[in-house]
Structure 1
Amino acid sequence: MWHGVNVVWPVDMPEYCTMSLSTSKDEILGKPKAVVVGLTGGMGAGKSVVAHILKSLGHPVFDADAVARSLYDRDDILLQAVVDRFGPGILHANGALNRLELANVVFADPVALADLNRLVHPAVSRTFSQWKSQEEMNGADVVFREAAILYESGSDQDCDVVWAVTAPVSLRLKRVCERNGWSQSAAAARMAHQWPAEKVNAKADNVLTNDGNVSLVPLVLSLLKDLL
């Protein structure tokens, strides 16, 4: 504040010169920033069901887990970094990633799993940023980032709100075994690498219970109403 000085803006001064110093780049460029909602939950909780509901309502959903899987096929730099860390034994004879072998390695060693996440998640985040910018240009005011390990990867830091989908562990185990054809012990071992539901739910802004007793659609619509 300049005391005793009257500042007079020229009448024909361009609009951008009179904007507040707090004006954001998005406002200057005329691109409103979309609200980012993180969508997470443990294996078998039902976050993909919520994602399907959101898509059916016309909301853009970024599937971080699917993108991570696809990056191995189209990001040569990432694939080479993974091979450098875990060795050529994780590749098929044709040079493609042997996903089963990689899974066997990382899910048997917490340090290896953490190393893999450190390699993959920055690439996923870059892809998300590009996707979000495109969705904002298309007029989206809310976008969703679906990720099983949203908190573990630190991706929640890029979200304005987080929704967690939860269900009883016994029901989650049943769903995972039926979906993947796994044994209960195999499913339980894989689930043990994720945060427990209690920890996820405590950090989330909203929790949707998917135990089959209540339809998820009204719950999703109610949360959307609070956002829009």
Structure 2
Amino acid sequence: MFVIGLTGGIGTGKTQVSEILSELGATIINADLVGHEAYLPNTQTFNDVVDAFGSDIVSESGEIDRRKLGPIVFADPKAMDRLNAIMHPRIFDMIKERIGVMAGEGIDRIVVEAAILIEAGWTPLADEIWVTTSPEDAVIARLRERNNMDEETARSRIASQMSQEERASHADAVIVNDQGLDELRKHVEDTWRQRAPSQT
């Protein structure tokens, strides 16, 4: 079994790379979706988050309302640290369990797509770390078009993350997204052929 940890800053093309890897035969585990599952009611994680931040974050439907939780943790680094201390180990365990189930089913090439793979300490889940990078001006243009952000907000969001250079320093492979989708696809396919062991 071969597990790729795929990460990259906002707007660098992570999801596009993940989709290409899926087309090449990899099975994708999206850490964001796993995180959503971790928040579900009647779980220990749900109880821990509500205990930490109060019942006001629970919606009328009985679920954690991220629109209420978000402003609390984004305004207070200590609150964010408290949330991460609850969520990161739980998501790690859920992904690890999912990888184990897939291995038992004979799935041999897996991609864990996670924006915070390095920051959250999830790199032990993967055999290799692949990082997407893109020129900052291109990232800003994507965020303005895709997320409807103004330039100041886009720059602030980028600045709040680990730098592309630091992230790339952890990488076994760097996927540079700077020449359009066709070139990106070629780069991913070449990297896949070179680095993903062929399975029999």
Q: TM-score, normalised by structure 1?
A: 0.78
How many angstroms does 1:75 deviate by? 5.4
Aligned to 1:218: 186
Q: Deviations over 1:1-29 (max 9, x none)?
A: xxxxxxxxxxxxxxxxxxxxxxxxxxxxx
Segment drifting more, 38-47 vs 163-172: 163-172
Over 3 Å counting, the alpha-carbon distance change for 1:96 and 1:185 in structure 2 is farther
Given that 1:149 and 1:194 are in contact with CA atoms closer than 8 Å, whether structure 2 keeps it comes out as: no
Residue 150 of structure 1 pairs with residue 136 of structure 2: no
Match for residue 127 of structure 1 among 94, 102, 115: 94
Distance, in Å, in 2 between the alignment partners of 1:53 and 1:107 is 32
Aligned to 2:107: 140
Q: Deviations over 1:106-141 (max 9, x none)?
A: 122222222212211222122212211222123222
Distance, in Å, in 1 between the alignment partners of 2:152 and 2:60 is 31
Q: Percent identity?
A: 34
Map 1:6-17 → 2, pairs under 5 A: none
Over 3 Å counting, the alpha-carbon distance change for 1:84 and 1:186 in structure 2 is farther
| Code of the aligned partner of 2:112 | R
How many angstroms does 1:59 deviate by? 0.8
How many angstroms does 1:74 deviate by? 5.1
Distance, in Å, in 2 between the alignment partners of 1:64 and 1:129 is 11
Aligned to 1:71: 38
Aligned to 1:26: none
Over 3 Å counting, the alpha-carbon distance change for 1:92 and 1:152 in structure 2 is same
Segment drifting more, 89-98 vs 62-71: 89-98
Given that 2:31 and 2:113 are in contact with CA atoms closer than 8 Å, whether structure 1 keeps it comes out as: yes
Residue 62 of structure 1 pairs with residue 29 of structure 2: yes
Distance, in Å, in 2 between the alignment partners of 1:90 and 1:159 is 33
Q: Deviations over 1:35-87 (max 9, x none)?
A: 22110000111110010011122211110012102321255221121111122
Distance, in Å, in 2 between the alignment partners of 1:120 and 1:43 is 20
How many angstroms does 1:104 deviate by? 1.4
Given that 1:107 and 1:190 are in contact with CA atoms closer than 8 Å, whether structure 2 keeps it comes out as: no
Given that 1:208 and 1:219 are in contact with CA atoms closer than 8 Å, whether structure 2 keeps it comes out as: yes
SS at match of 1:195: coil
| Runs of 5+ unmatched residues, structure 1 | 1-33
Distance, in Å, in 2 between the alignment partners of 1:66 and 1:159 is 18
Given that 1:72 and 1:79 are in contact with CA atoms closer than 8 Å, whether structure 2 keeps it comes out as: yes
Over 3 Å counting, the alpha-carbon distance change for 1:145 and 1:74 in structure 2 is farther
Aligned to 1:183: 150
Q: TM-score, normalised by structure 2?
A: 0.88
Residue 192 of structure 1 pairs with residue 166 of structure 2: no
- Report how many residues are paired: 195
Which structure: larger Rg? 1
Given that 1:163 and 1:205 are in contact with CA atoms closer than 8 Å, whether structure 2 keeps it comes out as: yes
| Runs of 5+ unmatched residues, structure 2 | none
| Code of the aligned partner of 2:196 | L
Aligned to 1:40: 7
